[in-house]
Structure 1
Amino acid sequence: MHLELQLIPVPVADIDRAKAFYVEQVGFILDHDVRPSATVRVVQLTPPGSACSIVLGAGLPGMAMPAGSLRGLHLVVADINGARRELAGRGVAMGEVQDLGRIKYASFADLDGNTWVLQEISPTA
């Protein structure tokens, strides 16, 4: 069996506000923003270099979650300090880098409180 994780729903209260945050501040790429019906909207965004996207949606069956309830999505980076500086420079409130040995983390939240973690893993010696 071959399984690919390609799309993760992110629950937000205001799609336009969240779209602006993810595109303008975090640097995600807007794949599409479509309204297939009067009650459905799908905004798909992809982190640069990622094979997995997120979806901000309204009126989608089976995707009802409270805004801000998603926790700990990881964005893997090669240089956590550089990525942290870049996001902070774009106005993203970043947590400090936590060094756990071979793994480093720094976190942030979107405007609804969904949390994200930058992760850098050092190669083994």
Structure 2
Amino acid sequence: MPVAIVSIPVTDLDRARAFYVDTLGLALLRDAPMGPDMRWIQLQPKDGGATIALVTWFEQLRPGGQQGLMLGIDDVDAEHARLTALGLELPAVAEEPWGRYIMLTDPDGNGLILSQLTDPQEIRTR
């Protein structure tokens, strides 16, 4: 069964929405009231795939507690330059056999990895 939604715990829904939509470029699928004092904010990479829900209501999920969520990108160097131009302080692009990547955090400290993955066929032939 495929992954449908990954919950990202945040403190401020508006600030988190702005980061994920305006900075990272995810598409906003829904922003709707969900009971008293709650909202359902659901995002998706523009190319599709699993979605992200920004959550404030899970007691066990603490803002900043989501680490290692990997988002696939086509060109890590271009994305690094784009995000740096937007004012994000990022480490240099790193490289591993599985791909090239940059690590960053959202405004709440949730850790994200933007990765340009290596074709698994290429890894097997090395």
TM tier, smaller: 0.7 to 0.9
**Judging changes above 3 Å, is the alpha-carbon distance between structure 1 residues 20 and 120 closer, same or farther for their aligned structure 2 residues?**
same
- Quote the offset at 1:12 in angstroms: 0.5
C-alpha separation in 1, matches of 2:66 and 2:34: 25
Structure 1 residue 113 and structure 2 residue 106: aligned?
no
Q: CA RMSD in A?
A: 1.8
- Quote the offset at 1:93 in angstroms: 2.8
C-alpha separation in 1, matches of 2:18 and 2:85: 16
The residue that corresponds to 2:76 in the other structure is 80
Percent identity, aligned pairs only? 27
Q: Deviation digits for residues 43-97 of structure 1, max 9, x if unmatched?
A: 11112213111101233xx564111110011011221111211222223332211
The residue that corresponds to 1:38 in the other structure is 36
- Structure 1 segments, 4+ long, off by >6 Å, are none
The residue that corresponds to 1:13 in the other structure is 11
What is the identity, as a one-letter code, of the residue corresponding to 2:33? R
C-alpha separation in 1, matches of 2:97 and 2:2: 30
Structure 1 residue 25 and structure 2 residue 52: aligned?
no
- Quote the offset at 1:102 in angstroms: 5.0
TM-score of the aligned structures, taking structure 1 as reference length: 0.85
Partner SS, residue 37 of structure 1: coil
C-alpha separation in 2, matches of 1:88 and 1:34: 31
- Quote the offset at 1:13 in angstroms: 0.7
The residue that corresponds to 2:53 in the other structure is 55
5+ long unaligned stretches in structure 1:
none
Partner SS, residue 89 of structure 2: coil
What is the identity, as a one-letter code, of the residue corresponding to 2:82? E
C-alpha separation in 2, matches of 1:102 and 1:26: 22
Single out whichever of 112-121 and 87-96 deviates more from structure 2: 87-96
Give the counterpart of 2:118 among 110, 117, 122: 122
> Are the counterparts in 2 of residues 44 and 56 from structure 1 also a CA contact under 8 Å?
yes
